[in-house]
Every structure is written in C-alpha cells, then in structure tokens.
C-alpha cells in the first residue's frame, strides 16, 4: 500500500516539478538528473516541508 502511494505521490510531484521547470527554462538540464537519484519518499517529505 505504501509503495503504490509513493508512486502516486512521485508522479504528482514529477508533473508539478516539470511544470515549474518549464517555467524556469534551462534549470532542467542541471537539476533533472538530480531528481532521478532521489527516491519518491524523499520527494514526498520534501514537498510536505516546502508547503
């Protein structure tokens, strides 16, 4: 259950990030690979903290 929740959160966050990045422009090339290294759980925590 937690794993599928993590996947769902990750895709939501990923689409959110994609939107932010397309606004920001060239940032994607610098931070894109970094995002892929982080597990979904970290992103969920990160998103909760940044809200």
Backbone angles phi, psi at 43, to 5 degrees: -70, -35
Instruction: Give the pLDDT confidence score for residue 37 in this predicted structure.
Output: 65
Spatial contact of 4 and 40, defined as CB atoms under 8 Å apart: no
**How many Å apart are CA 24 and CA 40, to the nearest integer?**
22
29 vs 5 pLDDT, higher one: 5
pLDDT tens, position by position, 27-39: 556 666 666 666 6
Rounded Cα distance, 46 and 29, in Å: 20
Q: What pTM value is reported for the model? A: 0.32
């Amino acid at each position: 259950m937690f794993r599928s929740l993590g996947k769902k959160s990750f895709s939501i966050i990923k689409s959110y990030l994609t939107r932010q990045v397309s606004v920001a422009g060239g940032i994607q090339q610098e931070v894109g690979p970094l995002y892929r290294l982080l597990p979904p759980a970290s992103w969920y925590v990160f998103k909760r903290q940044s809200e």
